[in-house]
Amino acid sequence: MAFPVTRLRRLRRTAELRNLVCETRLTPDAFVYPMFVCPGEGVRKAVGSMPGVFNLSVDEAVKEAREVHSLGVPSVILFGLPDKKDEVATGAWAEDGIVQQAARAMKREVPGLLLMGDVCLCEYMSHGHCGIVKSAPQSLGAAVAAPPAVKTDYEIVNDASLELLARTSVSLANAGIDIIAPSDMMDGRVGAIRRALDDAGLINTPILSYAAKFASGYYGPFREAADSAPQFGDRRSYQMDGANIHEAMREIEADIEEGADMIMVKPAMPYLDVIAAARERFELPLAAYQVSGEFAMIEAAAQNGWIERDRVMMESLLSIRRAGASIILTYYAKDAAKLLG
């Protein structure tokens, strides 16, 4: 029936009515809190572009994990800052790697917390790329024109990188990581990781694939936090073109066929249409990452008094949930959990 019989505002009149008919709800158990772990003891180094986010030594990370769990947030995802980097990402898969150390400590001290391990090589590679770099042959003139520190002709080698990603995944799972989350965007990585986990007897370790990860300008603050900026070039030859939603569906489908148990879209808010399309098409649990740039923009605008921080924070998370993500990786996990009570 049309107006005046139908008055849609009737159900908006009070907070109680609005809550009763609310279609999309946020709860702390949908959140995953990202954490950056670094060497040392008693280290709590602020990330300048991400207010309230820190690089944490293992002991401080355990304290943070305990607080996260107490707020009803069920999971954290761990990123590592190694003390040394090389061209084969040794710190990613070493038994005493920084994430492996943190995982063991958290499992002892906060056993009920689900631990996700980001599986990528960029933080551990001396060149900052997510796979093995091979220099392409150059003419003498080209070599003279481009100093070695500014490579202009190189390739991120896909298949050789898979072995390192698989080795890292097994190492993390053996250290206590509950969920393996590959974010490198190499072709075939999910299948390689699944085979390696199964061969190691880790058949019950699930994979949350960063299945549609876009080459985005929203990652800038993360690169400060994780010290992972590439030393030359960019990541557009392996991360996705933001123009392509159909290709995103192909990427997700390929990862599912290779054995992914959960899928992720990253970033979140600029790609809500991709989240919605993935939710419509695929039945696996769907995650989205509210990335560092999204967080930093809200914080900067709030500090300037241009927006209401808490209101915009919650609205942004609600939009991601409404688009179809049942799991949200967010630096706001603690603050949002406190507001949700």
The DSSP annotation for 283-306 comes to -S-EEEEE-HHHHHHHHHHHHTTS
Cβ pair 118, 222 in contact under 8 A: no
31-37/327-330 β-pairing: parallel
| 334 classed as catalytic | no
Decide: helix, strand or coil at residue 119: strand
Q: Catalytic pick from 85, 151, 266, 334?
A: 266
Dihedral sign, Cα of residue 158, residue 211, residue 176, residue 259: negative
Instruction: Determine the Cα–Cα distance for residues 192 and 166; give it in Å rounded to an integer.
Output: 6
Instruction: Determine the Cα–Cα distance for residues 280 and 239; give it in Å rounded to an integer.
Output: 23
Instruction: Determine the Cα–Cα distance for residues 311 and 328; give it in Å rounded to an integer.
Output: 17
Q: Which two tokens stand for residue 14?
A: 């009070």
Alpha helices in 187-291 (DSSP H): 189-199, 220-226, 245-258, 272-281
- Backbone φ, ψ for residue 329 (5° rounding): -85, 120
154-157/54-56 β-pairing: unpaired
| 338 classed as catalytic | no
Cβ pair 91, 85 in contact under 8 A: yes
DSSP state of 12: G
Decide: helix, strand or coil at residue 165: helix
Q: Catalytic pick from 151, 213, 334, 338?
A: 213
Among all residues, which ones are annotated catalytic?
213, 266
